[in-house]
Structure 1
Amino acid sequence: MYLGDVAWPDLEEYFETESLALVPLGSTEQHGPHLPEATDHLIAEAFAREAADRTGYLCTPTINVGVSPHHKQFHGTMWADAPVFRDYVESITRNLAYHGIDRVIYVNAHGGNVEHLREVGRRLRDDEVLYAIEWMWDESIPDLVDDLFEQNGPHGGPKETSMIQYLDPQLVHEDRLEDARDGGVASVEASETVKHGSRTFFDAADNTENGVLGDQTDATAEKGERLFEAATDQLVQLAEWLAGRDFEDLLPRDHV
């Protein structure tokens, strides 16, 4: 069930009988010359809505702008400063707690959000407001990602390209896939910006001229469908596992 489609009287039964919500989050940032800036939030919302449809759990509206200052050199990238992002996510999560939700899955598709979502989850758990955890789609199926792509690329690579080819193919510039590959780099290692164990880069532009890594020509919609189905299955299982826990068992343990 998508919260934004429902009139408020029709939500009463859900909040009386269920306690879990899916909150999709992504970013609005460059994804190279071939993918839309909406890539991450399109992927996050697709997973959250599909899992909600399969389980009956509540899906909230998507948070479309994330922590993305490391992509700022490329036209159109939007970002929230990290402290502001954390406070905003915490605030809207507390909204859900007000209505009776006591467990949340942040359905995330942007790596720059991960540490901040985990911090928000810690704050809310320490305050015993609710239990909120971060889920990242590709981290739920690492073996499949590795099997499908020789070089999947951490950003704008074939895994994200395949996902958008499957979810919304008209947004992919198929005629730019070779340019994306040739104008980027294969991996962070190939950019040689890790020196003696130190990550000497701060921005995507420090690693890649066109903003992406990996071999985008290795992407297909068929691979995207396999990724989507496999990761959705993992998200559904996570939601069902979390819904089945006693809330008291999710709270911090007492001091030893």
Structure 2
Amino acid sequence: MEFQYENSFDIEEKMKTTKIAILPVGAVEAHGPHLPLGTDNLLAERVAKRLAERIDCFVLPTLPYGQVWSLRNFPGSINVSNESLISMIVDIGESLYRQGFKTFAMVNGHLGNQPALKDAARVLFTTCPEMKVFYFFYPGMNKAAKEVRETESTHATYFHACEIETSYMLYLAPEYVVMSKALNDVPVIPSDADVTPTPWENFTTSAVLGDATLATEDKGKYIIDLAIDNMLTMLKASEN
């Protein structure tokens, strides 16, 4: 059920059938020439909707802005602070708690949001003690990606507009992918990028971290379906 399309007369009764609310969280940022600025929003939304096809829940309107400090100087990128993101998530979570929700699951499409979502979940752990809070980011994807990718990852953590993320889009939102513009652009990321602030323009001009030309729908399906299965297992356990 999509929360925003319900009305206040009917919603009270419908909330008796499920106590799970899912919030897609994305970002607006550069994703090379072949993917749109709203890639992370599209991925978060479509994963959330696929979850809703398999478990009774409400899908909340997407939170469309994220912490994109690393890419904030690229054309089209819109950055919000961790503090702003934490505050918004906590306010949403506490509102859901007052409405009687018992499970609040954030489905995140942007890695840079994870620190803020984790901190927000910790606040809600205290302020909403009877509500289970998840901050999902493709759980299980690392192992699955290693099984299907044809190139080595350019970084132990980062993946962006590359073979993997482009495959996600080919599976979940293919109408927004222009594969004729996909790049093979493998940057050299300095070792100190993990331990000191490093804007991405220091090592890439495209915002593509790998060979996007190798992306396929099948690769995306394999990883995304596994991640959704993992999320479902945890969501169903939270109902017990």
Normalised by the length of structure 2, the TM-score is: 0.90
Q: Does 1:165 align with 2:184?
A: no
Kindly report the root-mean-square deviation, in angstroms, between the aligned alpha carbons of the 2 structures.
1.8
Q: Does 1:194 align with 2:191?
A: yes
Structure richer in helix, relative to its length:
1
Match of 2:19 in 1: 19
**Does the aligned pair in 2 maintain the 1:152–1:215 contact within 8 Å?**
no
Q: In the TM superposition, what is the alpha-carbon distance from 1:200 to its structure 2 partner? A: 4.1
Corresponding residue SS for 1:146: helix
Q: In the TM superposition, what is the alpha-carbon distance from 1:201 to its structure 2 partner? A: 4.7
Equivalenced residue count is: 234
Q: Give the whole-Å Cα distance in 2 for the aligned partners of 1:228 and 1:106.
A: 16
Q: Give the whole-Å Cα distance in 1 for the aligned partners of 2:8 and 2:128.
A: 26
**Does the aligned pair in 2 maintain the 1:121–1:131 contact within 8 Å?**
no
Higher alpha-carbon deviation: 11-20 or 143-152: 11-20
Q: Does 1:131 align with 2:132?
A: yes
Match of 1:214 in 2: 210
Higher alpha-carbon deviation: 67-76 or 197-206: 197-206
**Does the aligned pair in 2 maintain the 1:157–1:213 contact within 8 Å?**
yes
Change (3 A) 1:198 1:132: closer
Q: In the TM superposition, what is the alpha-carbon distance from 1:48 to its structure 2 partner? A: 0.8
Match of 1:119 in 2: 119
Corresponding residue SS for 1:16: coil
Q: Give the whole-Å Cα distance in 2 for the aligned partners of 1:24 and 1:60.
A: 7
Q: Give the whole-Å Cα distance in 1 for the aligned partners of 2:194 and 2:7.
A: 52
Identity across matched positions, percent: 26
Change (3 A) 1:198 1:35: closer
Q: Does 1:181 align with 2:184?
A: yes
Higher alpha-carbon deviation: 140-149 or 13-22: 13-22
**Does the aligned pair in 2 maintain the 1:166–1:222 contact within 8 Å?**
yes
Match of 1:234 in 2: 230
Q: In the TM superposition, what is the alpha-carbon distance from 1:30 to its structure 2 partner? A: 0.7
- Structure 1: gaps (5+ residues): 245-256
**Does the aligned pair in 2 maintain the 1:28–1:65 contact within 8 Å?**
yes
- Structure 2: gaps (5+ residues): none
Q: Give the whole-Å Cα distance in 2 for the aligned partners of 1:68 and 1:223.
A: 26
Q: How does 1:1-256 map to 2 (within 5 A)?
A: 1-129=1-129, 130-137=131-138, 139-149=139-149, 150-152=151-153, 154-177=159-182, 180-182=183-185, 184-185=186-187, 190-191=188-189, 193-195=190-192, 199-244=195-240
Larger radius of gyration: 1
Q: Give the whole-Å Cα distance in 2 for the aligned partners of 1:234 and 1:198.
A: 28
Q: Give the whole-Å Cα distance in 1 for the aligned partners of 2:128 and 2:178.
A: 47
Q: In the TM superposition, what is the alpha-carbon distance from 1:55 to its structure 2 partner? A: 0.6
